[in-house]
Amino acid sequence: MKKLCIFDMDGTLLDSAQYLADNINLTFSSFNLAPVTVSECIEHFEERTSEMFLSFLSSRGIHDMVLLDKLLRSYRQHAGEGNYDLVYTYAGMRDLLFRLEAQGVEVAVLTPRDEAFAKPLLYRLCPGIPYLFSYLDEEKRKPAPDALLRILSYFDVHREDVLYIGDSEWDIGMGNNARVKTLSAAWGYRSREYLLEHGAEDIISLPDEILSFLY
């Protein structure tokens, strides 16, 4: 039986695209910058916050590192002040988390978001999840396996005892590079067809389907 389930956050555990866009736009508006769209956020979900902001500025023809630093400082200062009505856990996810806990399976979340943003969001909506991991500065982002392998080391578990659940091609790559069984969530921001085209081997349509992969 698997001992640990690791979830990607945005698009797998939480539908947070509108929430993220609104939080970013609160910061951008104070600097008179054009707002970002939800689709832009989804496109850059796998980037760290600093990389995401840099992408947004570059797409607007702005290459100002001083401005980038000011934006990040402002954004982090107001993290957790957004409208929580704009984000929700996917249907069936809370029940799944309860059932995993009942079976003694540890649950962790891995996100490229800054903890200042991710922690209040996750713990407000999924208070039963005790472990949240964000990328360390020296770690490469997906599809590099660095952050995922760090979590395995933290829990002192073998690869075969772990499930990784994500919604993107970057999650597929990360899981494969870490040699961890990877499930692709078709309820997220990519379609089943898209996931198949990008190498998904096990695609699930509902959270409770994860239970059949525990054994």
- Phi-psi bin for 147: left (phi > 0), alpha (psi -120 to 50), beta? alpha
pLDDT confidence of residue 44? 93
98 with 181, same domain: the answer is yes
Give the separation between CA 175 and CA 106, rounded to whole angstroms: 18
209 with 124, same domain: the answer is yes
Structural domain includes residue 83: no
Structural domain includes residue 68: yes
pLDDT confidence of residue 84? 87
123 with 191, same domain: the answer is yes
pLDDT confidence of residue 177? 98
151 with 138, same domain: the answer is yes
173 with 201, same domain: the answer is yes
Q: What is the CATH number of the domain that holds 177?
A: 3.40.50.1000
Q: Which residues of the chain have pLDDT under 50?
A: none
| 164 and 178 Cβ atoms separated by less than 8 Å | yes
129 with 73, same domain: the answer is no
pLDDT confidence of residue 138? 84
73 with 146, same domain: the answer is no
Q: Which two tokens stand for residue 14?
A: 């939480």
pLDDT confidence of residue 26? 92
Tally of structural domains, the chain: 2
| 165 and 186 Cβ atoms separated by less than 8 Å | no
Q: Which two tokens stand for residue 2?
A: 């698997």
Q: pLDDT for 43-90, tens place per residue?
A: 998 899 999 999 999 999 999 999 999 999 999 888 777 788 899 999
pLDDT confidence of residue 77? 87
Structural domain includes residue 177: yes
What is the pTM for the complete model shown? 0.92
122-125: which pairs have CB atoms within 8 A and are 24 or more residues apart?
A: 122/9, 122/13, 122/14, 124/84, 125/14, 125/84, 125/87, 125/88, 125/89
Domain housing 40: 17-77
146 with 173, same domain: the answer is yes
201 with 111, same domain: the answer is yes
Q: Three-state SS for 131?
A: strand
